[in-house]
Structure 1
Amino acid sequence: MRILMVTRGLQRSNGVASYVMNYYRALHGPEMRFDFLVIDDVGSPYYKEIAGNGDNVFLLPSYIKHPLKFFSLILNIFKKSHYDVVHCNVVNSGVPVLAAAAAFNVPIRILHSHAAQNGDVWWKQLRNKPFSALALHFANKYIACSHKAGDGLFGKRKYRIILNLI
């Protein structure tokens, strides 16, 4: 099984990065291979560990500064590799990844909610609504770290709780 794990960053002292790396270490093996798509690269000591296991880390450029490069790289990743699962841990900037996964017929497209609300101020919540709707459309499985996080993003859709610990 080949999994593309999508995350904003993999820096230490980051809750989502810790979650991702805990599951990676627990599940990685010959039958379960992981690649990582990092949307906001700020460097990470985990890159060496991942590469040492024979897995890939794809670093996306800023979609605001380099939108064509951003979308082109996403399409190239899906053209070159077959994934059974895309596990997206970001909502807004994860939309193009989930859309590409759907276009390339990735059978399992997970959207994972790690937060109880979709923005810390009202205007960000308003701005993020269309992105959330698109992410929900392109994903076909929904996961949350808590009921509050699940209800906040998925509303009445069915989702599963996966706690942030192993």
Structure 2
Amino acid sequence: MKILLINTVNLEANGISTFIINVAKQLVKKNFDVTILTPNEVESNLMKKLKNNGVHLKEINGRSSNLINYFIKLRKYLSYEKFDVVHVNGNSTTMAIELLAAKLAGVKLRIAHSHNTTTEHLL
């Protein structure tokens, strides 16, 4: 089974990233094919650590600066890779961007995981 864990914030030293990395490692141990998608260029040491743990990494930049381009690239990537599950992790309703791209790409199981109780990005 192919699983994509999407981080809507930069993959670096923060709570959401720590959660995603820990989940990815556990899923790989159970023989799932796991990729983490992040909107930033990941520091090389973290990239190596993920690779050594069997976790794939995909960077699609522009979530904050060019949302339309980000959405198009994300949808194309999701359509090409044929993930069984997309698990979006974030802290606002803007996770709908990734969920819509996954739906349009034909991903059957889409999960939204909010990591907070308030947001600055209301509908």
Which residue pairs with 1:102 in the alignment? 103
CA contact (8 A) 1:3 1:86 kept: yes
How far residue 35 of structure 1 moved from its aligned partner, in angstroms, is: 1.0
How far residue 64 of structure 1 moved from its aligned partner, in angstroms, is: 4.6
CA contact (8 A) 2:75 2:104 kept: no
Which residue pairs with 1:19 in the alignment? 19
Distance 1:79 1:112 in 2: 22
How far residue 100 of structure 1 moved from its aligned partner, in angstroms, is: 1.4
Q: Which structure has more RCO (C-alpha within 8 Å, separation ≥ 6)?
A: 2
TM-score (norm 1): 0.62
1:116-155 matched pairs, under 5 angstroms: 116-118=117-119, 124=120, 128-130=121-123
| Structure 2 residue identity aligned to 1:34 | V
How far residue 59 of structure 1 moved from its aligned partner, in angstroms, is: 1.5
Greater fraction strand: 2
1:45-124 matched pairs, under 5 angstroms: 45-53=45-53, 55-90=55-90, 91-118=92-119, 124=120
TM-score (norm 2): 0.80
CA RMSD, 1 decimal: 2.2
1:35-54 matched pairs, under 5 angstroms: 35-39=35-39, 41=40, 43-44=42-43, 45-53=45-53
How far residue 15 of structure 1 moved from its aligned partner, in angstroms, is: 1.2
Q: Percent identity?
A: 22
Gaps of 5+ in 1: 119-123, 131-166
Query: What is the DSSP-based 3-state SS (H/G/I as helix, E as strand, rest coil) of the residue aligned with 1:25?
Result: helix
Q: 1:23 to 1:65 in 2, by over 3 A?
A: closer
Distance 2:3 2:66 in 1: 26
Distance 1:26 1:5 in 2: 13
Gaps of 5+ in 2: none
Q: 1:71 to 1:85 in 2, by over 3 A?
A: same
Highest CA radius of gyration, 1 or 2? 1
Structure 2 residue 28 is the aligned partner of structure 1 residue 10: no
Q: How many residues align?
A: 120
